[in-house]
Structure 1
Amino acid sequence: MASEKGLFFQDPPQLTNTFEADPSLRLQLERLFPPDQLESILPPLRELGELAAGSLQALAVEAERDEPELVQYEAWGRRVDKVRISPAWREIHRIGATQGLMATAHEAQLGWRSRLHQAALIHLFGPSSAFVSCPYAMTDGAIAVLKRYADPGDAERPLRHLLSRDPDEAWTSGQWMTEKEGGSDVRRASTVARQEDGVWRLYGNKFFVSAVTAECALTLANAQGTPDLSLFFVQPWNADGTLRHITLRRLKEKLGTRALPTAEIDLEGVEARLVGKPGDGVRLIATVLNLARFHNTLAATGIMARCLQLAKDYAGRRVAFGRPLIEQPLHLETLAGLQVEYEAGLAIALRLAELIGKVETGVASPLEAGACRLLTPVAKLGTGKQVVRVASEAIEAIGGMGYIEETNLPRLLRDAQVLPLWEGTTNVLSLDALRAIARQDALRPFLEDTLLRVAQATTPELDDAVKSVRTAVKALGRHAESMAKGGRSDSEAAARRFALGLFNTYAAALLTEAADWEVKHGRSRRLAVAARRWIGRGLTDLAATDEKHRAESRLLL
């Protein structure tokens, strides 16, 4: 636009209601919900979409500017270890509770589709939450663990707070697992739990504690007399904001998620309650990890959606060489490629929500339960790689101003970069997928479910997509047999490419299934185009690895 002096000022990209601006999300929800349930969830989704584009986004910007601060000493020299948090961060927490981000899934008013409803809410909430979505992910896991495994008397009060829609009553939970010795290898944890006067107390160091200000936490420790790790529930804070037998060493300075208070702490006899049986901690904490990976997937799709909304809006506002960017063929192709990435990631995320909901409510078939086990790491690793690509390309699509902090676009890229790391890197999750295949026979139901996604597709223009999915499934099955016959080193070296092949193929099947529904219901053919382009990139890269190949890799390094 031009000022009164005739100077030119470029209109920045604008956010509008993020639910209304996302036809992909709306179409998938229409496909997955019966009409009466869909009608019931649309008003809260529209409300949250409006908040995400307005006041919630403004709070996120303020929380990023006013980063957490560790106050170790009070004026008279006493050690207090308090964390000063932005009022904006606390207000985002209150909005999340009011919107029912935790309650929606666990109240299960829509049966197994309650997980789908929650997924849509978190998808909209995340990009405008200054990563309050992280403690919500851990809270979701804590709720599930306490409901399934904790003593009912111990769990009743925490669950009431963790599930509350009242912002004055609502709690969030942390998870304290990472230690310097172990990292992703949690079995190397050195924290110990001792029974003193009939009470469990924890001693040790937790190196990476996200959302340290959460009202409670789950943590692993070596319990007296038990060879394996046990799971404990902790309430670390006193009412006056001081810690209970915990020293807060430092807050971590991170590339992104800067409003999220991440700390290193020393446990110095903090009281804890045992959850489940002694020595069963690693198995029980898997529930938390799997739900965190589900939330990680939703965080990735949420950021992709936000990047696309901004990039597409800007493309209609920015004129260069006589035409808006959106009318320029190369720019149009770039944005279309990003849209295909998003369509695939969104389809995966919602399918994972569907399967988790069915497993939790006891209506999943054995095939669906098996598919869910393998899809959880595969969805997380695939969307984690996608979101970094999409966020980087979106900034490039906006140009130099996309690199300027005041536009808030760099935050999206910084925050995206945590998603391939949080709750398991791509390599860690690729190996987890191999374990699920070897120990739980998870590949067979996963590939069968992949084929079922396209079994009913009868739209002629999708014939090639169906054939491509079936061909890829056969190739993945043959490669899995080959890996099983080979050595462990060969399998592990190929694990990343194999896991990404699973992701690409399952996404292709889901896009084909949704595209068939879209055409049969008289809608556009957007998803048919998305499926064709996604498949056109190639679904599998299954080149074998052997000792010669690994020797060459060592030579390169």
Structure 2
Amino acid sequence: EMPPARRGTETLHQEQPETGNHYLEDALLQSYLRAHLPPKVLEEVTQDLERFGTRLLSQVKPLGRECELNPPVLRQYDAWGRRVDHIATCSAWRSMKAIAAEEGLVAAAYERRYSNWSRLHQAVKLYLFSSFSGGFNCPLAMTDGAAKIAESLGLPGSLKNAFDHLTSWDPKKFWTSGQWMTERRGGSDVADGTETVARKQPDGTYRLYGFKWFTSAADSDMALTLARVADAEGRVKQGSSGLSLFFLRVRDEEGKLNGIQVQRLKDKLGTRQMATAELWLDAFAPQRFQISAEGRGVASISSMLNISRIHNVIGAVASMRRMIGLSREYARRRVAFGKLLKDHPLHMQTIAQMEVQARGAFLLLMEIVCLLGLAETNMASEQDQLLLRLLIPVAKLYTGKQ
């Protein structure tokens, strides 16, 4: 017979809340799509989202948990003392990349199958994916931003191939992109904080010299970064007007780092599933192209920053919806003071207040992605474009605080 003390501890557990298909359980999302999408688009998108919701539960959710339990590891040297700087990620992280390609989590926005509604379709899939992604929504944000820059620059020769990879539905061809801006002297203040120097080579490529202090998605296939172009005497121009935007391949044809050394991986409080590193850029790297006009790096990268902000809003709103879903389900199971939590008025009042905030944030997000879809298909009025420019930073601030 179990001792009395142990019998008491055996019952000290709570029943785990369980949620089902996130699309089918999100009444607000379904009603919004019914109210706004054309009938033919609605039919196809609804079928896709129902199927995707099932895949999230059966496949993506366990992979996301595995990513959280197995963060990346840096192996700087091989057994013979040679510098390799290999960032090892778990198999689940690599599977997430394949799923992102198959589901078109970047590509759907650029294929424009549904014209201006394509961006909404993509945003809704990211909204459903975010809470189960195991942190992979972060590299997708930067990949989407890189594709946006390539498109906004008119797909110059050095970026056409990259754009095709960034927007591919084929897992074998799909690339992710990093966004390497932050240096030791500052975070958002890239105008005065960027020390990386680019020296032009006779073949038109550049060699970059510098230290990137915080590089997210360090295991990505390519990256966009800022640097100051040095003239023949080695002088550089300070301030934002001295910054240009560069495209670089992270690895060469043999899979080795392309003139990059990994100093260390960041020991972060959050998003530990994603490799964020301190990187040295040195001279021994071909395939580094200037993709903006000289001195127009900050202006060129602004479209990438706006896409990243929208992804930030998507992640915040998705987290709000996820927390409310779990709270409501838990309230149907947990008994306190002789009755279920759902039967306590104050408890339900708190959930109701959270629901109102989440709905407001969701509708704000939908307004932004609809405006973005109009802008990307040349259907936005001047007022639409001004409103989009205003709402993106406001929404990021508001939803981030919530």
The TM-score range, normalised by the shorter chain, is: over 0.9
> Are residue 279 (structure 1) and residue 295 (structure 2) matched?
yes
Tell me the distance in 2 between the aligned counterparts of 1:53 and 1:326.
25
User: Does the aligned pair in 2 maintain the 1:151–1:275 contact within 8 Å?
Assistant: no
Q: 2:274: which partner in 1?
A: 260
Q: 1:239 & 1:299 partners in 2: Cα distance? A: 34
Tell me if 1:235 matches 2:265. Answer: no
- Would you say the 8 A contact 2:259–2:282 is kept in 1? yes
Provide closer, same or farther for how the CA distance between residues 38 and 151 of structure 1 changes in structure 2, counting only shifts above 3 A: closer
Q: Does 1:131 align with 2:135?
A: yes
| Alignment-derived partner of residue 330 in structure 1 | 346
Aligned partner of residue 70 in structure 1, secondary structure: strand
| Maintained 8 Å contact 1:105/1:118 | yes
Deviations 1:483-527 (A, max 9, x none): xxxxxxxxxxxxxxxxxxxxxxxxxxxxxxxxxxxxxxxxxxxxx
Q: TM-score, normalised by structure 1?
A: 0.67
Letter in 1 for 2:195: S
Q: Which amino acid aligns with 1:218?
A: L
Does the C-alpha gap of structure 1 residues 239 and 65 become closer, same or farther in structure 2, counting only changes over 3 Å? farther
Distance 1:252 1:321 in 2: 45
Q: What's the offset of the Cα at 1:370?
A: 0.4
How far is 1:224 from its partner? Answer: 2.2
Which residue of structure 2 lines up, in the alignment, with residue 217 of structure 1? Answer: 223
The aligned counterpart of 1:383 is 399
2:3 alignment partner in structure 1: none
**Which residue of the other structure, out of 306, 311, 323, is the alignment partner of 1:290?**
306
Which of 309, 313, 319 in structure 1 is aligned with 2:335? Answer: 319
Alignment partners' CA distance in 1, 2:102 and 2:169: 5
Match of 1:349 among 362, 365, 373: 365
Contact 2:196–2:226 (Cα < 8 Å) also in 1: yes
Question: 1:19: which partner in 2?
Answer: 23
* CA distance in 2 between partners of 1:190 and 1:155 (Å): 24
Superposition pairs for residues 395-544 of structure 1, below 5 Å? Answer: none
The answer to whether structure 1 residue 65 and structure 2 residue 61 are counterparts is: no
- Provide the residue aligned with 1:439 in structure 2: none
CA separation in 1, counterparts of 2:74 and 2:36?
Answer: 45
Asked if the contact 1:15–1:53 (Cα under 8 Å) also holds between the matched residues in 2, the reply is: no
State the 1:151 CA deviation. 5.3
State the secondary structure of the residue aligned to 1:207: strand
When structure 1 is superposed on structure 2, of 194-203 and 281-290 the one drifting more is 194-203
Alignment of 1:364 with 2:380, yes or no, is yes
- Among 210, 214, 218, which residue is 1:208 paired with? 214
Q: Give the letter aligned to residue 220 of structure 2.
A: A
Cα RMSD, aligned residues only: 1.5
Aligned to 1:197: 202
1:449-477 deviations in whole A, cap 9, x for unaligned?
xxxxxxxxxxxxxxxxxxxxxxxxxxxxx
CA contact (8 A) 1:82 1:241 kept: no
Q: Secondary structure at the match of 2:210?
A: strand
Query: What amino acid does structure 1 have at the position aligned with 2:336?
Result: A
Equivalent residue, structure 1, for 2:258:
244
- Contact map agreement 1:135 1:174 (CA 8 A) in 2: yes
Q: Encode CA deviations 1:261-301: one digit per residue, 9 max, x unaligned.
A: 10110100233111021111010000100110011000111
Deviation for aligned residue 1:110: 1.0
Whole-angstrom CA distance in 1 between matches of 2:110 and 2:165: 13
Q: Distance in 1 between matches of 2:374 and 2:130?
A: 24
CA distance in 2, matches of 1:150, 1:175: 20
Greater fraction of residues in helix: 1
Cα contact 1:105–1:117 (8 A) shared by 2: yes
Paired residue secondary structure (2:33): helix
Aligned to 2:4: none
Q: Is the 8 A contact 2:313 2:396 kept in 1?
A: yes
Query: In structure 2, what is the Cα distance between the partners aligned to 1:373 and 1:24?
Result: 26
Deviation at 1:240, TM superposition (A): 4.4
| Matches of 2:51 and 2:324, distance apart in 1 | 20
Q: 2:23 aligns to what SS in structure 1? A: coil
Could you tell me how far 1:10 is from its partner in structure 2? 3.0
Cα distance, 1:328 vs. partner? 1.0
Change (3 A) 1:55 1:130: same
How much has 1:19 moved relative to structure 2?
0.9
Contact 1:174 1:218 in 2 (8 A): yes
Report deviation, 1:150. 5.7
Question: Do 1:179 and 1:205's aligned partners in 2 also have CA atoms closer than 8 Å?
Answer: yes
SS at match of 1:313: helix
Native 8 Å contact 2:145 2:307 kept in 1: yes
5+ residue gaps, structure 2: 1-6
Contact 1:150 1:276 in 2 (8 A): no
Q: Mean alpha-carbon deviation: is it higher for 228-237 or for 263-272?
A: 263-272
Q: Secondary structure at the match of 1:19?
A: helix
Once residues 317 and 57 of structure 2 are traced to their aligned partners in structure 1, the CA distance between those partners, rounded to angstroms, is 16
Query: How far apart, in 2, do the equivalents of 1:151 and 1:339 lie?
Result: 42
**How many residues are paired up?**
382
% identical aligned pairs:
41
The answer (yes or no) to whether the contact 2:263–2:278 under 8 Å persists in 1 is: yes
TM (norm. structure 2) is 0.92
| 1:302 equivalent in structure 2 | 318
Structure 1: stretches of 5+ with no match in the other structure: 387-557
